[in-house]
Amino acid sequence: MSVTGDGGAVIAHAGSIGLRMLAENTGLTGALSTAMARRSFIPSVRDRGQVLTDVAVLLADGGEAISDIDVLRHQRQILGPVASAPTVWRALDEVTDARRRKIATARARVRRHVWSQLTATGGVLASKVAGTDLGETIVLDVDATIVVTHSEKELASPTFKRTFGYHPIGVWCDNTGEFLAAALRTGRAGSNTAADHIQVLGEAITQVPMPYRRNLLIRCDGAGASHQLLDWLHAQGQVRGRSLDYSVGFTIGENVRHAITELPVGSWSPALKADGQVREGGEVAEITGLLNLDGWPTGMRVILRRERPHPGAQLSLFEAHDGWRYQAFATNTGSGTLQFLEARHRAHARVEDRIRHAKDSGLGRFPSREFGINQTWLQLTMIAADLVAWLKMLALDGDLAKAEPKALRYRLLHVPARLVYGARRRRLRLPKTWPWVEQLVAAFARIAAIPPPA
């Protein structure tokens, strides 16, 4: 075998063209262009909205640095002119706080159009990604994560995990897998800062199309167990025409430990798995009546779960005394069995997968020393996650509709193709022996059939 560098008319990452088409057909590219429009008589050589879309496609395709834009530049026969790396740097630097707000508004407008396509036939937003039909209840999961930086970036600082970097917090829609809102914070930012939780949750609710804000469920781990956050959630639930439930981890303090010792033996019931089967070694009970909840929101309940710890688990002195590991959460949901409420709260763990996917698509590495550019990078990471979620919901089915981003890249986005010209048309010819070629051809057809936004 001999290797030469004189080939032509070959597209390396042909599947990523579908993401670019998806952004155009849903109206995302045009909305970003409007958000980035300059008040000047001299237009930009490169449309800034198109530049932001290309960076989002780059991140969804697995790129990690701005210089990776050259992969898309190689596809100019299909995509047309693509901005160079220096132009991308300038475009990111031009995104001010006001423009970031405009971009968020544009995302919400496009999301409304995308969700209208999802519900055009069934009328209910089903969760293909999570594998669960949640009816008309939209579930928002909020969590924070550490992003380690290996250089002195603006506002990076030591973290509580004895690393150095940033501590962003984000909100994901469990129904669809979309990355709705996030805030880039310094590394020393607290995990349970109520103001940050309220900020990103408020932005996330704004991203949800208006008809679906009527039934919301907010899930959070123990970092959200603060009076300020729960009071805010309670107030949001009082908004006319809206039903907002919450399921938030609750700190096991002295009062909770005392309530545990006061529980009668018959108060415990077997815990259930997500599929409704009994969870071996797990039990649930309610301790609301045994706690002094003065000052907490009206209607708040505290539910407890205990389970036998796995080998090697670290237990507190209280837990080591009876050999059970305890976790508590607070909720304002008044109906449903304890087993259902506990299994619903435990499903919050899916947010860890969302964070892992985001770190594989831009969140794990910030490109600049400047905090403002890194904020824009985080916003493009959210758009990249949205594009992947929309691709799976609008254009894929079967196993591919549930595949992780890395699997989608390996099977679809990175497929090679040959570009053929004939009869005044361009044809992208995918390898007929590619295992997923039929699904990819069907995906391109479905993307092309998306109606333009009104």
* Predicted confidence (pLDDT) per residue in 344-359, tens digit: 999 999 999 999 999 9
Measured distance CA(413)–CA(392) in Å, rounded: 12
Find the mean pLDDT for residues 16-29. 95
Give pLDDT tens digits for 363-397: 999 999 999 999 999 999 999 999 999 999 999 99
Give the model's confidence band at 130: pLDDT under 50 very low, under 70 low, under 90 confident, else very high. very low
Instruction: Tell me which of 53-57, 79-83, 238-242, 343-347 is least confident.
Output: 238-242
Measured distance CA(275)–CA(272) in Å, rounded: 8
Give the model's confidence band at 127: pLDDT under 50 very low, under 70 low, under 90 confident, else very high. very low
- Average pLDDT, whole number, for the chain? 89
Give the model's confidence band at 131: pLDDT under 50 very low, under 70 low, under 90 confident, else very high. very low
Percent of the chain exceeding pLDDT 70 equals 95
List C-alpha distances in Å: 165 to 149, 360, 368, 407: 5, 17, 13, 28
Break the chain into its structural domains and give their ranges: 10-100+367-448, 127-358
Of 389, 399, 341, 347, which is closest to residue 132 (Cα–Cα)? 347
Measured distance CA(141)–CA(358) in Å, rounded: 14
CB 171 within 8 A of CB 200: yes
- Written as one string, the DSSP assignment of 203-253 is HHHHHS-GGGGGEEEEEE-GGG--HHHHHHHHHHTTSTT-EEEEEEEE---
| Region of residue 362 (phi > 0: left; psi between -120 and 50: alpha; otherwise: beta) | left
Of 188, 192, 142, which is closest to residue 161 (Cα–Cα)? 188
What is the predicted pLDDT for the residue at 44?
66
Torsional sign, CA 158, 161, 163, 169: negative
Measured distance CA(196)–CA(296) in Å, rounded: 20
Q: Is the pLDDT of residue 319 over 80?
A: no
- Written as one string, the DSSP assignment of 331-373 is E---SS-HHHHHHHHHGGGHHHHHHHHHIIIIIT----SSHHH
- CATH class of the domain at 127-358: alpha beta
- Greater confidence (154 vs 321) lies with 154
Give the model's confidence band at 41: pLDDT under 50 very low, under 70 low, under 90 confident, else very high. low
Measured distance CA(56)–CA(380) in Å, rounded: 5
Structure tokens at 68: 């990776």
Measured distance CA(163)–CA(202) in Å, rounded: 29
Q: How far does Cα 389 stand from its chain's mean position?
A: 9
Give the model's confidence band at 40: pLDDT under 50 very low, under 70 low, under 90 confident, else very high. low
Helix/strand/coil for 108:
helix
Give pLDDT tens digits for 140-194: 999 999 999 988 899 999 999 999 999 999 999 999 999 999 999 999 998 889 9
Helix/strand/coil for 426:
strand
Helix (H) or strand (E) holding 387: helix 371-394
